[in-house]
Structure 1
Amino acid sequence: MSPADPHFTPGKPHSLVEDLYAFAIGCSFVVLGLVWLKSAGLVTGGMAGVALLLSYLIPLSPGLLFTFLNLPFLWLAQRSMGTAFMLRTAFANFAITGLALLAPSAFRLTDLNGPFAALFGGTIIGMGILALARHHAGVGGLGIVALTLQRRRGWNAGRTSLIGDAFILAASIPVLAPRQFLLSVLSAAAISGVLIAYHKPGRYTGY
């Protein structure tokens, strides 16, 4: 439904409680997906994939790398999406890092099924990104670029992210075993599938 539709009614702004609850869900989902993929030795798309890939090369956690990588993109978030979006994105990123650092002391994953880890990890990261995007926040550099292009040019965020994912996955070929690489492609497809299916302009009227 679009604003031109006679039955269109603007969505009510989210309350502070609704925003905080969505941030708690979205950040937790992203972290849980990262933990699943890291435990299975996989990579995925977006900045989460870059953080995972680097975590196999240098002795830093994906959560910490995630925030370091995203800091330069906060300027783009402010310029293209506004100060409120930038502040919400910064809050989400630091929350994700904090939760990721706490995750090892909260639970441990063993004996993971690779295909399930890829599908579950990718899907739940996608749902986390979706929850945050619908409450006017991004989770990473490529996500910010995708959301900016969707807002300015109407490009679907999922399809735009898919292009960036292809480059990230290509960079992981020298690092991952063939099976891990194929499962990583599956995880990236799961993330993009969620965004392509559910993150469309006009489908969601809240903000």
Structure 2
Amino acid sequence: MAQASSVFGLWNTSPTRHTAVEDVQGVFSGSFVAALGLYFLASAGLLTGSTAGIAFLLHYAMGVNFGLTFFLLNLPFFYLSMKRLGRAFTLKTFIAIALTSVLTDMQSRLFEIGLIHPGWAALIGGLLLGYGLLALYRHRASLGGVGILGIYLQERFGIRAGLVQLAIDMVVLAAAFFVTTPAVVMWSVLGAVVLNLFVAINHRADRYIAL
């Protein structure tokens, strides 16, 4: 009984290793919360950074499906992930991206946000994305793109993943001036800052070492 409980992750006594069940719930819950954050941003017409930001730009400018575009944009980063971060990380990241893409598209069919101030949407969306990413990072997964690059640079050179993502996000959001209004861009910057500072403060490889 005790052995079965350990295998299924009900009473895992190892402080440095996740069970398969713990990884499943971590990847699913992280993807779910991240998708909810993306929906809050989209409900106010806001953007974020990384490949999700590029997917938002294409969605607003050309009307393409956000979930599918987000999934396709992440495909090239799987090569870096497989080469540098391993098969397990790549597989869990692929599943997380697929889940987040599907769940983001499902949100509007399940509930609707009638009215929300863009500043509030930026705060809630940024925090939810931060929580989602943190859950994925702690189970050795990510939402691909810059997240993969950020984790690689943190583990290889000690550069905080959140700060790497923040720098690249600013570039993506600067491009948003060409497809939306300055007010939308500024509120989107707030959301990106909230997201990346949350990750930078809470995700440290020397503090959380579970695999």
By the TM > 0.5 criterion, same fold? yes
Describe the superposition over 1:99-129 as per-residue Cα deviations: whole angstroms up to 9, x where unpaired.
Answer: 1222221111111111110011011111111
Q: Given residue 172 of structure 1, which amino acid in structure 2 is its aligned partner? A: A
1:4 aligns with: none
Cα distance in 2 for residues equivalent to 1:103 and 1:36: 10
Q: Does 1:199 align with 2:203?
A: yes
Q: Does 1:40 align with 2:44?
A: yes
1:154 aligns with: 158
Q: Does 1:139 align with 2:134?
A: no
Q: Given residue 28 of structure 2, which amino acid in structure 1 is its aligned partner? A: A
Q: Is the 8 A contact 1:45 1:191 kept in 2?
A: no
Q: Does 1:58 align with 2:72?
A: no
> What displacement does 1:52 show?
1.1
Counterpart of 1:82 (choices 77, 81, 86) is 86
Gaps of 5+ in 1: 1-9
**How many residue pairs get matched?**
198
Describe the superposition over 1:8-53 as per-residue Cα deviations: whole angstroms up to 9, x where unpaired.
Answer: xx83311122111111211011111111111101111222211111
Deviates more, 1:129-138 or 1:95-104: 95-104
Gaps of 5+ in 2: 1-13
Counterpart of 2:76 (choices 51, 67, 72) is 72
Cα distance in 1 for residues equivalent to 2:78 and 2:209: 25
Off by >6 Å, runs of 4+ in structure 1: none
> What displacement does 1:155 show?
0.5
CA RMSD of aligned residues (A): 1.2
Cα distance in 2 for residues equivalent to 1:77 and 1:11: 25
Cα distance in 2 for residues equivalent to 1:169 and 1:161: 12
Cα distance in 2 for residues equivalent to 1:62 and 1:191: 20
Q: Given residue 52 of structure 1, which amino acid in structure 2 is its aligned partner? A: F
Cα distance in 2 for residues equivalent to 1:137 and 1:26: 9
1:114-193 correspondence runs (5 A) = 114-193=118-197
Q: Given residue 77 of structure 2, which amino acid in structure 1 is its aligned partner? A: F
Cα distance in 2 for residues equivalent to 1:178 and 1:18: 42
1:85-124 correspondence runs (5 A) = 85-124=89-128
Identity of aligned residues (%): 38
Deviates more, 1:18-27 or 1:148-157: 18-27
Cα distance in 1 for residues equivalent to 2:183 and 2:112: 23
